Amino acid sequence: MLNVFARALIGIVAIPATVVMAGTMATKALTDKGTVLPKPVVDARLAAKSGEEVAVFAGGCFWGVEAVFEHMKGVRSVVSGYAGGTAPSPSYDEVSTGNTGHAESVRVVYDPSKVTYGQLLRVFFSIAHDPTQLNRQGPDVGPHYRSAVFYRSPEQQRIVNAYVAQLTAGKLFSRPIVTEISALRKFYEAEEYHQDYAELHPNQPYIRIHDAPKVANMKKLFPEMYRERDPVKGSRASR
């Protein structure tokens, strides 16, 4: 798989563009375009006081999903990791076999007085990934690249179920939404070299082709939610 090969070369050599481009043209149009989905009809209200809530999403390679949410107002931190499986303390190599049950995921810590869970879902389904691809995202294939929302409370479950039903009823995708909706059992942080990867390696070919367009779409399509990142603090400083 492309991601496994690419990450094996982290810090060693640059990946030739001809290698990265293989099998990516069909998905480049998707990441370039993005979409603006409607606001959730069912959502939580903005909290009266500042605080912290946690959301966990899986949408293919965690580099790009992390990068999108790092540019969203109201988000305090984003960490790449693994969720949805049963193996304890999985490593990247173990998850990459597709046998642990985990999906590459991100843990988003957000201020519910500034952004709602429904707004996070809207960006996740509009920009961060394609919810109609089963057990893959673009060139990355396997159950560990599946689309998933791991809810942490009955309220989150209610909101995500309602939003998927809303999008389905509105026929806003040409194919069925295949996003898994499951209770979060455990989130495991990924290895340090995966954290803030898109921010630290902006010229890496995979990032330029697949992930930079997502961040650009966040700025273009959701300017009211977009923010520039703090170049000093990054996403892990407030964990």
- From residue 204, alpha-carbon distances to 29, 53, 150 in Å are 19, 32, 29
| Catalytic (active site) residue 61 | yes
Mean of the pLDDT values across residues 13-27?
34
Domains of the chain, residue spans: 2-221
Strand pairing category for 147-151 and 180-183: parallel
How far apart are alpha carbons 75 and 218 in whole angstroms? 14
Q: So what's the pLDDT on residue 176?
A: 98
* Token pair of 127 as six digits: 């920009």
Choosing from 6, 15, 55, 61, the catalytic residue is 61
* Token pair of 25 as six digits: 């043209």
Mean of the pLDDT values across residues 135-143?
97
Q: What is the pTM of this model?
A: 0.86
Q: H helices within 55-184, ranges in order?
A: 62-70, 92-96, 117-123, 154-169
Per-residue pLDDT at 234 exceeds 70: no
CATH 3.40.50.720 fits 2-221, yes or no: no
* Token pair of 62 as six digits: 């965690």
Q: What is the DSSP letter of 16?
A: P
pLDDT-wise least confident of 32-36, 57-61, 215-219: 32-36
Q: Torsion over CA of 82, 87, 90 and 96, rounded to 10 degrees? A: -70
- From residue 58, alpha-carbon distances to 12, 29, 48, 157, 210 in Å are 28, 21, 29, 15, 16
| Residues 198-229 pLDDT 10s | 999 999 999 999 999 999 999 999 999 999 98
Q: Whose CA is closest to 57, among 141, 120, 127? A: 120
Q: Phi, psi (5° rounding) for residue 219?
A: -70, -40
How far apart are alpha carbons 72 and 75 in whole angstroms? 6
